[in-house]
Amino acid sequence: MNHLSPFDQNPTFTVYLEPYLHPHIREYQNILTTDKMPTGPLKDLVMPIRPSRLSPFQPAYSPFDDPFGNCKYAIIRYPGQPISQKCYNQFLSHADIPSLIGYLGANGYNVNTDITKLIQRSGSMPPGGRRMICVVS
């Protein structure tokens, strides 16, 4: 029996801005993440991370809210760099959104503004304090 969903093969992904507690410097940052590992050249700039809870009052991640556990895909500034206590700016942040959109366009990705607006207007809020930036295909 084949357990692959046709939705798993879809190259469309979503970019979020979300709070992250850096494990080495113990400071909060708002970083850019994706909902899954993208295909194409951006894949080299995305690293899976397992964030800790931001507060002891925050409930544990639920598999119903986040079907992939609490694994996140952070967009990093330098390809191949591990998480480092010496590098505070290794993750892309809010200030990098225009550069990211330019990179996506230059590398053959399409930022789908119609789908982004549709989802934002629906009032659907992602779990964990994330804010949706755009849908990319």
Q: Is 120 a domain residue?
A: yes
- In this prediction, residue 24 carries a pLDDT of 73
Name 124's Cβ contacts closer than 8 Å, sequence gap at least 6. none
Range of the domain at 39: 6-136
* Per-residue pLDDT tens digits for 6-60: 777 788 999 999 998 877 777 888 999 999 999 999 999 999 887 765 555 555 5
Q: What is the mean pLDDT of the chain?
A: 81
Residue that wins the pLDDT comparison between 119 and 39:
39
Task: Name the amino acid, one letter, at 131.
Answer: R
Q: Is 40 a domain residue?
A: yes
- Give the pair of three-digit tokens for residue 36: 């899954």
- In this prediction, residue 64 carries a pLDDT of 46
Q: Is 1 a domain residue?
A: no
Cα 23 to Cα 91: distance, rounded to the nearest angstrom: 13
Residue that wins the pLDDT comparison between 19 and 66:
19
Q: Give the residue from 93, 119, 128 showing the smallest Cα distance to 12.
A: 119
In what order do the strands lie in the sheet containing 131-136? Answer: 46-49, 72-75, 28-34, 13-21, 131-136
Q: Is 44 a domain residue?
A: yes
- Report the predicted TM-score, pTM, of the whole model to 2 decimal places: 0.80
**Could you give the number of structural domains in the chain?**
1
Q: Is 113 a domain residue?
A: yes
Name 97's Cβ contacts closer than 8 Å, sequence gap at least 6. 17, 32, 133
Phi and psi based region of residue 2 (left: phi greater than 0; alpha: psi -120 to 50; beta: remaining): beta
Residue 94 has pLDDT above 70, yes or no: yes
